[in-house]
Amino acid sequence: MRARRPGGVVLPVCRRPPRAGPCARGGRRHRASGARQGGQEEAPGEARDHQRLRHRDWSVRYLQDLIYKLSKFRQAIDKDDLPAASNVLGPSTDAQWVQNINAAFSKCSSSPEDRSTVDSFNASLASLFTSVNKLDAGSSKSAFVSSATALEKWIALAGLSGQLKGF
């Protein structure tokens, strides 16, 4: 199998899993990163779609982790166990999982409505951290509901409802 590149250069296509750039084995191109069967090149829009799908894969993992954290948080808050709820969230909004989820949001958010929903989620998440650190159960429950509602709206807008479990 050979892939044609602009300028007439022909490279064999690697059959390993797709990734961007040349393969480590002899400059071969990965099929999903620019070459197709039959020697056709991907259109620029298709390459962007492929990138979006790759970003969406790791974004879904981070979102699934977020759903798990929120589920554990809810269990703790339902038992009025604020120290356990605080342990689930971590020390502050600078926690690695918060950074990961914000990276996932930015990669998958394309419309102003998506970004507005992300901003709403981040504001309610910050409120959630604050209320848990103050050991305020009522405010924590209210902030949790706001966070979950904003996340649910964003997931629907991003079209990820079918890919996430437990929400």
Give the pLDDT confidence of 89-122 residue by residue, as tens digits: 988 888 899 999 999 888 888 889 989 999 999 9
Say whether pTM exceeds 0.85.
Answer: no
CA distance 121 to 4: 46
**Range with lowest mean pLDDT among 3-12, 95-104, 144-153:** 3-12
Note every long-range contact of 114-117, with CB atoms under 8 Å and residues 24 or more positions apart, other chains counting: 114/154, 114/157, 114/158, 117/150, 117/153, 117/154, 117/157
| pLDDT value at 74 more than 70 | yes
Is the pLDDT higher at 93 or at 47?
Answer: 93
Quote the pLDDT of residue 131: 93
Radius of gyration of the chain (CA): 21
Average pLDDT for 34-53: 46
As annotated, the residues of the chain forming the CATH 1.20.120.290 domain(s) are 45-163
Q: Which CATH fold would you assign to the domain 45-163?
A: Four Helix Bundle (Hemerythrin (Met), subunit A) (1.20.120)
